[in-house]
Chains A and B, each alone.
Chain A
Amino acid sequence: MKIVSLIVSGIITIILVLLFNTKMVLPVPLGKLLSPQKGLWQNAEPLNENYSAKLSFPQFQGKVKVYFDERLVPHVFADNNNDAYFVQGYLHAKFRLWQMEFQTRAAAGRLSEIIGPKALDYDRDKRRLGMVFAAENSLKAIENDPVTLAECDNYTAGVNAYIESLTESTLPVEYKLLGYQPEKWSNLKTALFLKYMALELAGYEDDFEKTNAKSVFSSADFDKIYPVVMDSLDPIVPKGTEFPPPAIRVKVPDSADSLYYDHKDSTTIDEQKPDPSNGSNNWAINGTKTKSGYPILCNDPHLGLNLPSIWYEMQISTPTYNVYGATFPGAPAVIIGFNDSCAFGFTNAQRDVRDYYEIKFKDKSRSEYWFDSSWVPTTFRIEDIKIKGQPDYLDTVVYTNIGPVMYDKKYNGGRNTNQKDYAVRWKAHDSSNELKMFTLLDKANNYNDYLKAIKYLQTPGQNCIFASKNGDIAIWDQGQFPAKWYRQGDFVMPGTDSSYLWQGMIPQNENPHLVNPERGFVSSANQIPADTSYPYYLGGNFIPYRAIEIDKRLATMNNITPEDMMKLQTSNYNIFGKWALPVLIRNMQVDKLSPQEKKYFDILKNWNFRNDKDSKGATLFVVTWDSLETVIWKDEFLKSGLELPWPSESTLLDDINKYPNFKFYDNINTANVETLPDDVTAAFKMAAAVIRKADENGKMDWANYKDTRVEHLARLDAFSRLHLPIGGGTNTINAAKAQHGPSWRMVVSLTPETEAYGVYPGGESGNPGSKYYDDFVDEWAAGKYFTLWMMKASEANDKRVKWTMTFN
């Protein structure tokens, strides 16, 4: 009897241990996770945590002191540059290791290793796009430059020094929750991180969707729905600028009419791609327009809003340079910021540098393909994708001289299902050393240094903005961009003929640029860089409205102060609304509206064109315009049975203003012929139904309706900041959308003693158990800024210094 009790009790004990130490029954090993001495309680950082430390590493050539201020921003003072990069790596790892590793694993197509088979398609996509291939090519460029290589080696050593110091209890909480361990850092991982950004910023294309659209619509209709130049146009380089004759004369292929422009081929895509929403604003004004008489530079890059943030703020000071700004955990150098002589920043150039070619293989072996009248051999790259809890998945990717065959019979990425083979030519595959640009900018003293630096930027193309204390301001639409003929690469191209390949790169000095213009400012907001007189085809997905508003405001402002610039960066004025609302009002058939709809219509009519957080008119306008797009486009688009690119809102507004009898007004599913007023009224009724529901749930105010969130990278709501009270949105300078927006706002006044302000929606610590995890989020949402303190070495005893870390 007693032996039975012993066995039963023993078994219960063992079952309890198994239950709480494994994931057999519970989704997480709860006992292991909650054990106070090693589990996630160890990540609960005391509110009065002491970050001071004395560390010593054999490879140090000199001494480094790191002063942390009250926002936990480190001010690094190093005796030499290499030690500074080591410390940058160490600090990135100390505060952001999990994020750095997660993003580079994502870039390399290795998420299945961590989160299992549900990430397999994501991973295959990255492998087939050649992300690792691209990173390896970049690594070669890094290794060919001794200075960059030394920077990367020291950065990597710093990251690894921190990783080696980790114990089971100090492991970041995400590793504990997801149950895996960090890997050693490497220069390849740094290169992968840069490709992760390249994909985010220069990875967008809708070639298959446009190819479908070309097969459905007449070419006249096609040009109305997908124009290459918008009517509402305010380019970065003002209209009327004269361009020198182009160095490269591109030749349209002889067969283009039959095989390209008029070729009706559809690729039957079955999945809509996400909106290409990586926009940004930057501008610089010179001393003639500022109160101080010195230039001011402003930048707010719009990216996915995530925790931990993509940015980590810091100052790095060595005997050769002194720079402050936003850094990328995962890469050395300051990316957007200022030094003692100048300031620099970026917006995305939005150019199309990713094109597809249809490949004709000789046979099933795919070892040869037809190119320029002969069979050319391919190479194979076998991708070994490790999957948590499952055997590895082997994916063979065929490489042609154009690029990797991304889509084929075995993988369509949710896009083409017609069994054809498509190779991708992506500019980011080419060997380039973008890091060099950032490290040179960090050290730049003047315009010439800046110009020398930005020449290293090939991909992702950016509008590089610059201002210096000596008074210069400049912007270059910089990158290595293919010289394309009209609409080249908008559609899938034949891959059998070299005449369809990119024929050359636009020489750097022909990139659109503007230096010290008479109007006193330069700016960009993802609009087209130049008007149609620019000698190369620009393609791309340009966004007109924020730029128009910025230029209009800057043109009229004088005696500008940094505070004025903060107000401009956080402006909720919706110029698209100002232009589009009259269309809605003019065409509304008010007599067809119910009393409640009339009430909503009154609110809409009286909207002040501001997307303020408590605005009901903004919600009504946005929902009504979305509904109008649906009413006008959806019938034709659904009938095609294909995935087509959704026309931009500016296109629809332009079309309405130009074509009173636009054929798309008619709903093809009814016997009647609908007109614009019919559509506007139908759209408003649709919108009113949506609004009524929102109204009943207390979500009619714009911020509640839009519901901006800063989301944890692993999409854990509990580690995210939800329901933020912030206005703005798509066509306002304050581009805070639901999960996308100003990821770093910076205003730098280049007075003799630099005056700088900045804020990002996150915090310096990546640890969800730290009070510094999200402590900037509320300030960011409220449109407030922190003063950026360019600390001097002599200020070590300043009261703002809270902790000191020394390295030697």
Chain B
Amino acid sequence: MKFIVSTILIILFSFLSCLYFPWWTVGIVAFLVSIIIQQGHLASFICGFISLFLLWGFLSFWISYQNGHILAHRVSLLLFKTDSPFLLIGVTALIGAMVAGFAALTGSFVRKEKTGTGF
């Protein structure tokens, strides 16, 4: 349950945050959610990772699909020398996922640290 709630919160607030703030604020969102909703380290990491993988994967796929993948064909060729829209979508999702995953993991350590010292 915690896992699903965390995932939903990270997805929701990451989306809102990116409307107004730089992209890397997804890390802050994942970090904070992970402090507020306590989970195991691995669970926190996976939660942050999956949230952004889903969010950025879905957003970029949806945009690209409506675009007939015109831009993704060109940009994947430009950045990776490979004509593969899905590679570009995958990399997009992975970047968000990695940052959010590690940010969430960091958050989980903060919480455990605080409990551990009996605060």
Contact = CB atoms under 8 A, between A and B. Distances in A.
The answer to whether A and B belong to the same complex is yes
Interface of A: 2-3, 5-6, 9-10, 12-13, 16-17, 20-21, 28, 30-32, 34-48, 173, 177, 716-719, 768-771, 773
A17 B103 CA distance: 10
B88 A31 contact: no
A30 B91 contact: yes
A769 B70 contact: yes
A536 B38 CA distance: 90
B23 A769 contact: no
A9 B74 CA distance: 35
A770 B19 CA distance: 23
Given A21-B24, A35-B56, A6 B75 contact: no
A600 to B, nearest CB: 36
Nearest to A770: B70
Contact of A34 (B41, B60, B68, B110): B60
A21 B109 CA distance: 24
B106 A13 contact: yes
A36 B99 contact: no
A454 to B, nearest CB: 41
A49 to B, nearest CB: 9
Contacts of B67: 44-47, 769
B106 to A, nearest CB: 4
Contacts of B19: 37
B102 A9 contact: yes
Nearest to A21: B24
Contact of B24 (A10, A31, A771): A31
Contacts of A16: 27, 98-99, 102
Contacts of A36: 18, 56, 59-60, 63, 92
Interface in B1-46: 15, 18-19, 22-24, 27, 31, 41
A13 B103 contact: yes
Contacts of B102: 9, 12-13, 16
Given A2-B113, A9-B102, A34-B92, A41 B79 contact: no
Give the interface centre of A2, A36, A771 by most chain B CB atoms within 10 Å: A36
B110 A6 contact: yes
B74 A718 contact: yes
Nearest to B80: A718
15 contacts: A2-B109, A2-B113, A13-B27, A13-B103, A16-B98, A16-B99, A20-B95, A20-B99, A21-B23, A35-B18, A36-B59, A44-B64, A44-B71, A717-B78, A769-B67
A453 B78 CA distance: 45
A342 B94 CA distance: 59
Interface of B: 15, 18-19, 22-24, 27, 31, 41, 56, 59-60, 63-64, 66-68, 70-72, 74-75, 77-79, 88, 91-92, 95-96, 98-99, 102-103, 105-106, 109-110, 112-113, 116
Contact of B22 (A13, A32, A716): A32
Given A36-B63, A718-B74, 17 more contacts: A10-B106, A12-B102, A13-B31, A13-B102, A13-B105, A20-B99, A30-B79, A31-B24, A34-B60, A36-B60, A40-B71, A41-B60, A44-B70, A45-B71, A47-B67, A718-B78, A769-B71
Nearest to A39: B23
A50 to B, nearest CB: 12
Contacts of B99: 13, 16-17, 20, 31
> Which label, helix, strand, loop or mixed, suits the secondary structure of the B interface?
helix
A412 B19 CA distance: 51
Nearest to B112: A2
B18 A37 contact: yes
A46 B66 contact: yes
Contacts of B18: 35-38
Contact of A716 (B66, B78, B95): B78
B59 A41 contact: yes
B74 A719 contact: yes
In the A-B complex, list the 7 residue pairs whose CB atoms are closest, starting with the nearest: A769-B71, A35-B23, A718-B78, A36-B59, A44-B67, A6-B109, A718-B77
B113 A768 contact: no
A2 B116 contact: yes
A28 to B, nearest CB: 7
Contacts of B24: 17, 20-21, 31
A662 to B, nearest CB: 50
Contacts of B106: 6, 9-10, 13
A800 to B, nearest CB: 23
Given A44-B64, A718-B77, A3 B113 contact: yes
Contacts of B91: 30, 34
Contacts of A12: 102
A17 B56 contact: no
B74 A768 contact: yes
B95 to A, nearest CB: 5
Contacts of A45: 67, 70-71
Contacts of B112: 2
A182 to B, nearest CB: 20
Given A5-B109, A20-B99, A34-B91, A41 B63 contact: yes
A346 to B, nearest CB: 33
Nearest to A177: B78
A41 B76 CA distance: 12
A43 B88 CA distance: 14
Contacts of B63: 36, 41-42, 44
B109 A9 contact: yes
A752 to B, nearest CB: 42
